[in-house]
């Protein structure tokens, strides 16, 4: 299966399972479900769907984590995929905490894992994931309108959007210009941390790294 940009048939198929009937489908991996005691007001249906989309949508955090995992499984612990995957894990946790707080069910395990494969080269992957980060920013631009009136959700969405725009996107753009990989990514305060201010330090390109399968 080849990845074209961010989306694949597998991603969309898993999304259909995860969001069947406008909600979260029953998956073998089980649900997360909080007490709902932390929310100051009940979620509107639009706000609920915005939270679920941020976590389980094709441009959301579960999908991104699975895609970076596919690259790491194929090519090894190469940057910036390794560092950004760690950031995606924190993004997932931030969204899960919100869903628990408001008592919204969601698939506990990532339904995209194992359903996507890496592109034919690291350079192709870097270009695809740069496009994916742009799509992720656009997703949060759409979803923020649905969560107006919920300051806690708005704050998390804004922070995750900022991480994609100011940290992840530049890292993938640099990787694409350097053959697909980076020798080092300085995490700093903002690299992938909700609430950060973007990458602190420079990413150094791999010299002479072709990034092709079977190297």
Distance CA 101, CA 8 (A): 32
State pLDDT tens for residues 139-155. 999 999 999 999 999 99
Query: Residue 183: inside a domain, yes or no?
Result: yes
State pLDDT tens for residues 164-175. 999 999 999 999
Instruction: Give the domain range for residue 76.
Output: 17-205
Number of structural domains, the chain? 1
Length of the chain: 215
Query: Residue 211: inside a domain, yes or no?
Result: no
CA distances from 60 to 64, 123, 132, 145, 152 (A): 6, 22, 9, 16, 18
Query: Residue 182: inside a domain, yes or no?
Result: yes
| pLDDT given at position 115 | 94
Distance CA 25, CA 45 (A): 16
Distance CA 7, CA 192 (A): 22
Least confident of 7-16, 89-98, 155-164, 170-179: 7-16
Query: Residue 27: inside a domain, yes or no?
Result: yes
pTM above 0.75, yes or no: no
Distance CA 67, CA 11 (A): 10
Query: Residue 68: inside a domain, yes or no?
Result: yes
> Across residues 5-16, what is the average pLDDT?
36
Query: Residue 78: inside a domain, yes or no?
Result: yes
Query: Residue 184: inside a domain, yes or no?
Result: yes
Query: Residue 35: inside a domain, yes or no?
Result: yes
């Amino acid at each position: 299966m080849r990845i074209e940009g961010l989306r694949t048939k597998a991603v969309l198929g898993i999304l259909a399972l995860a969001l069947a009937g406008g909600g979260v489908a029953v998956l073998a991996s089980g649900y997360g479900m909080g007490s709902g005691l932390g929310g100051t007001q009940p979620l509107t249906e639009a706000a609920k769907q915005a939270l679920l989309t941020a976590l389980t949508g094709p441009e959301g955090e579960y999908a991104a984590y699975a895609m970076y995992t596919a690259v790491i499984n194929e090519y090894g612990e190469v940057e910036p995929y390794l560092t950004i995957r760690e950031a995606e894990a924190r993004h997932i946790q931030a969204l899960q905490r919100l869903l628990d707080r408001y008592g919204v069910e969601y698939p506990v395990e990532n339904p995209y894992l194992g359903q996507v494969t890496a592109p034919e080269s690291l350079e192709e992957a870097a270009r695809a994931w740069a496009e994916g980060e742009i799509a992720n920013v656009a997703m949060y631009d759409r979803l923020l309108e649905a969560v107006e009136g919920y300051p806690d959700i708005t704050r998390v969405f804004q922070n995750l959007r900022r991480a994609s725009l100011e940290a992840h996107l530049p890292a993938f753009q640099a990787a694409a210009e350097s053959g697909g990989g980076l020798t080092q990514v300085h995490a700093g305060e903002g690299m992938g941390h909700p609430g950060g201010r973007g990458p602190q330090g420079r990413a150094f390109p791999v010299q002479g790294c072709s990034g092709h399968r079977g190297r």
